[in-house]
Amino acid sequence: MNIKSLLLGSAAALAVVSGAQAADAIVAAEPEPMEYVRVCDAFGTGYFYIPGTETCLKVGGRVRFDVQAADSYSPNSDNGWNTRSRAELYLDSASDTEYGALKTQIIARWDFDGDYNDGQHTTTKLIAANITLAGFLVGLADSQYSSFTNYAGDIINDDVVYYGPFETNQITYNYDGGNGFKAVISLEDDSTDDDDYMVDVVGGIGYSTGTFGFTVVGGYDQSVEEGAVKARLDGTFGAFSAFVMGGWNSDGDKLNKYAGSNFGGAASGIGWGDWAVWGGLGYSFSDTLAANLQLAYTDSEVFAAAANVKWNPVPGLLIQPEVTYTNWDSIDEDQWNGMVRFQRTF
């Protein structure tokens, strides 16, 4: 074998080895980019950006368990302990637009009363489903007649004496002057009358300095052709808070959507009469312990009182015992009720 043959053979062998190594080589794939959830702090605590969008989402809710001895809204209702479990889910979205923040709100609720053996099952209810932009709100929310005055006191049974409706479809404009002044006008669904196109109307104004606040709101029920007006004064003095609220019914002989009744049993149908008043006190002993008292009285001689203690042993957990007393003088009936609420909010 000459030198030329040896060199050619060596070159061929190297080519075979190199080809085999090239065929067996492993090429690492490029890592795919990961998109982490980003915190969105433009709209408050708890929001995060939906991946791939500029829309922020907030998820929350609460789980509640109530045990009570009777019904604060009905006389002769102390027939043994009643229990209720509740779950609520909150979904809020928000994004910036040239007209301000575009927001949505969804609140869904599930209640379970008693047990399956008593014929009662889980009930599902949509509490809120609305869109807001530039002060306008459309969809399902609590009536502005109740929410504009910030409801009543910090009591579980705060509406034993009725102060207004809750969930209703509406088209609302809320004005916030940024200087403590606010106003609202709302067209609310009149679900009791399907024979015409008229709606119920709510309007109100308010002013707050931080220490004091004053609101006035009125509602007109077009089906009954009557309405009601409420005025509320609030004050905060360090650990103390207090409020007083008064309502006037345009016709004390009739119930309407804005001056109605929550009573059942023998008290069913008893309303305000011409007027109703509410008042309450609150005191915070510490960051984890507070107490509240609320009293109410009506022209129809209904008296309601409630007191509670709110204890937060750990963040997110509430334990709240409450005692209520209701007296219906016109029918010579009354009712005591004691209850305890356990609630986890997240």
**Domain edges within the chain:** 34-345
Token pair 């957990």: residue: 317
Find where tokens 């984890």 sit.
288
**165 within 8 A of 145, measured Cβ to Cβ:** yes
Taking residues 193-202, report their average pLDDT: 82
Average pLDDT, integer, range 142-150: 98
Is the pLDDT reported for residue 193 higher than 90?
no
What the block records as the tokens of 80 is 């043994």
Locate tokens 């074998």: which residue? 1
pLDDT tens digits along 15-42: 444 554 444 556 666 666 556 789 999 9
Phi/psi for 116 (5° steps) reads -65, -25
Residue 14 pLDDT > 50: no
What letter represents residue 208's amino acid? S
| Contact (CB, 8 A) for 306 and 323 | yes
What are the C-alpha distances in Å from 159 to residues 60, 155, 285, 286? 25, 9, 25, 27
The answer for residues whose C-beta is within 8 angstroms of residue 328's C-beta and 6 or more apart is 75, 263, 266, 267, 270, 301, 302, 334
109-144 per-position pLDDT tens digit: 999 987 665 556 789 999 999 999 999 999 999 999
Q: Which pLDDT score is estimated for 118? A: 56
pLDDT in tens, 303-320: 999 999 999 999 999 999
Q: What is the CATH number of domain 34-345?
A: 2.40.160.10
The H-or-E segment that residue 335 falls in is strand 333-345
pLDDT score at 236: 97
Is residue 12 a contact partner of residue 4, using CB atoms and an 8 Å limit?
A: no
Closest by CA to 325, choosing from 75, 65, 67, is 75
- Proportion of the chain above pLDDT 90, given as a percent: 82
Helix H or strand E encompassing 219: strand 212-221
